[in-house]
Structure 1
Amino acid sequence: MTTIQKSQSILLAGASGVLGRHVARALTGAGHKVTGLGRGRDNGIRADLMDRDAVLRAVDGHHFDTVIHAATALRKTPLRHRDMHATDALRTDGTAHLVEAAQVTGARRFVAESMVFGYGYGDHGDRVLTEDDPFGPRGTDRELERHVAAMRAKERLTCGTPGLEGVALRFGLFYGPGGTDALLPLLRRRQLPVPEDRGRVVPWVELTDAARAVVAAVERGRPGQAYNIADRTPLGFRAHVVCVAEELGVPKPMTVPLWLMRPASYAHTVMSTALRVSTAKAERELGWVPVYESSRAGLAALRATAH
């Protein structure tokens, strides 16, 4: 494992988001000094990541050792493809602007939140994908290509910018404190129908585990590398939501045929995907292993802290 300096000065884009709050807490706990970048007043540096000139003006005169991209444009669960368009733009233009900010502030390292769906949506069968598998294959239609191209571009900017030690973390789907909360009112109102999984599984990762992976990438990530970050128990979307209901004491979701989800075009795509990834590289090079090996374990811990 490569280790770089402790007690770094870190610029964290997206510090006020669900993942960002966990990352800020984990970095501070590890002895780093964190400055948030975002539009909200809680950020030390206020700027819209999509406004290049505003970002560069805002960071002028500052120095950071590492810049982290954990910003998201999502405020609720994306259902239709158009719900992902702002995130696609953030992954392309927003990343380019943040890379420039990293360069002008003298940052040595750039760590970016990536996503396992960059391996491609759809049925990958039972094969377990590693970081050596192609990332960002062309999408099978215009909308999927838009999403995958954005993830492809984000990793290219992260790991391919000269002078920056870029590290990309390919996360599974997030759940846990601050992330699972949004599902509870929908389940209580019986407004979250989900289809049977029928063997389809996807990777998941609990948010505090994800935040620990970011710290590990800051301190030990190998420049130019990507790492899969997920727990050891891939689950179908329905199986995960049933775990949420059982552990947190809300009604289980109604079952509907998969075709009925087609109007919710992006959700239908995710629920039609079968994807498994290996985290052996993260374990070997980052020294990262999930505290919560399954959604069941992570949700049980969430229930315990809620009481």
Structure 2
Amino acid sequence: MKILLAGATGAIGRRLLPALGRDNHEVIALTRDPSRAAEFRRSGVQAVVADALDRTELLRATDGVEFDAVIHQLTALTKPPVRHRGMAVTNLLRTDGTRHLLEVAERAGARRFVTQSIVFGYGYIDHGSRSLTEDAPFGRPTGGPTAPHIAAMATNEELVLGSSALEGIALRYGLFYGGDPDPLPDLLRARKVPVTSGPDRPLAWIHLDDAVTATVAALDRGRPGQAYNIVDDVPASWRSVITAAAAAHHAPSPPVLPGFLIKLAAPYVAAMLNASLRVSNDRAAEELGWRPSHPGFTDGIRASVVGS
């Protein structure tokens, strides 16, 4: 297939480019940075320069460009958000950006549209001991400062999965870790990643390399109108993952802070730590033929250290 990759310079996007090529797909990279577009072209990749939030600019830049599918991996997260306002532009990319990309896809006569979603759409709450499947309520309003994030995730999926013109698929990723380059080791060495002394609940994670293989599988085999949880087999708490990563990278032990201090200094992180998310990847295994190569964070961290 010929694919328009929106977010080609992001954490997943820059890994998807070679992965899609290995799977015999042709990629058109969408970027708003002319210098990055020039880099793509020098490496033999077609590039389109446009801001996905500017509908007019995007339609003009893609006019006459032919492609069969869109992969929407756009975020504005150059670094992990610590405050809720750090999610504002990403929320817009999940609403207005998605609308604009769907319009571009329909105009180009594309068939398939794969969008990035996230398991926090189930809610930044304690879900208890149950394992969440894709049939669990997603995007349900809960109020509070996380409401805009959940609303944006819900809108993104509603637009894509509800499209009558395209085969829409949503990938609900867990928290990313690993990959190369990985910013976490430097943050750990600087002791900039705290853990909480309070309740430490399980969360859903996914190694970036496994997120890439799942995305390629969904492009080829995903069922139209379907969402898939793309997570490790084994949930793990924030404290477990961060402490293990620090030890593996020979970094100091992470600072341990009470929950109220984390909430003051990093309210978005505190909201994530408030969640308990055990998430099932059975549907992705069954329908996409995908399994994570790193079943749990211990395997993934070990692989990241060996590969660094």
- Structure 2's unaligned 5+ residue stretches are 38-46
Amino acid at match of 1:48: D
Q: Does 1:30 align with 2:23?
A: yes
TM-aligned CA deviation for residue 182 of structure 1: 2.2
1:74 maps to which of 72, 77, 86: 77
Q: Does 1:58 align with 2:61?
A: yes
Distance 2:246 2:271 in 1: 23
* Contact persistence 1:10–1:35 (CA under 8 A): yes
Aligned residues: 297
Match of 1:14 in 2: 7
Q: Does 1:109 align with 2:103?
A: no
Equivalences for residues 133-148 of structure 1 within 5 A:
133-141=136-144, 143-148=145-150
TM-aligned CA deviation for residue 42 of structure 1: 2.8
Q: Percent identity?
A: 47
Equivalences for residues 218-233 of structure 1 within 5 A:
218-233=219-234
Match of 2:297 in 1: 295
Distance 2:212 2:226 in 1: 18
Secondary structure of 1:45's aligned partner? strand
TM-aligned CA deviation for residue 83 of structure 1: 0.7
Distance 2:235 2:74 in 1: 25
TM-aligned CA deviation for residue 144 of structure 1: 1.5
Amino acid at match of 1:241: I
Distance 1:131 1:193 in 2: 31
Match of 1:269 in 2: 271
* Contact persistence 2:74–2:90 (CA under 8 A): no
Match of 1:3 in 2: none
TM-score, normalised with respect to structure 2: 0.94
Q: After TM superposition, what 4+ stretches of structure 1 lie above 3 angstroms from structure 2?
A: 196-199
* Contact persistence 1:112–1:167 (CA under 8 A): yes
Secondary structure of 2:176's aligned partner? strand
Of 43-52 and 148-157, more deviation after overlay is shown by 43-52
Match of 2:166 in 1: 164
TM-aligned CA deviation for residue 191 of structure 1: 2.6
Distance 2:55 2:150 in 1: 23
Q: Does 1:207 align with 2:201?
A: no
Secondary structure of 1:177's aligned partner? coil
TM-aligned CA deviation for residue 197 of structure 1: 6.3
Amino acid at match of 1:117: F
Secondary structure of 1:242's aligned partner? helix
* Contact persistence 1:197–1:238 (CA under 8 A): no
TM-aligned CA deviation for residue 302 of structure 1: 1.2
Secondary structure of 1:28's aligned partner? helix
Of 235-244 and 205-214, more deviation after overlay is shown by 235-244
RMSD value over aligned CA atoms?
1.2
**Residue deviations 1:35-73 (CA, integer Å, cap 9, x gap):** 110112333001111111111111100111110101111
Distance 2:233 2:278 in 1: 10
Secondary structure of 1:42's aligned partner? helix
TM-aligned CA deviation for residue 199 of structure 1: 4.6
Amino acid at match of 1:93: D
Say if 1:300 and 1:137 are closer, same or farther in 2 by CA, change over 3 A: same
Q: Does 1:90 align with 2:90?
A: no
* Contact persistence 1:197–1:271 (CA under 8 A): no
Of 183-192 and 53-62, more deviation after overlay is shown by 183-192
TM-aligned CA deviation for residue 256 of structure 1: 1.1
Match of 1:244 in 2: 245
**Residue deviations 1:150-170 (CA, integer Å, cap 9, x gap):** 000000111111110000000
Distance 2:254 2:198 in 1: 13
Secondary structure of 1:283's aligned partner? helix
Match of 1:155 in 2: 157
- Structure 1's unaligned 5+ residue stretches are 1-7
Match of 2:186 in 1: 185
**Residue deviations 1:206-234 (CA, integer Å, cap 9, x gap):** 11100111111110000000000001111
Amino acid at match of 2:6: A
* Contact persistence 1:139–1:146 (CA under 8 A): no
* Contact persistence 1:195–1:238 (CA under 8 A): yes
Secondary structure of 1:18's aligned partner? coil
TM-score, normalised with respect to structure 1: 0.94
Of 183-192 and 20-29, more deviation after overlay is shown by 183-192
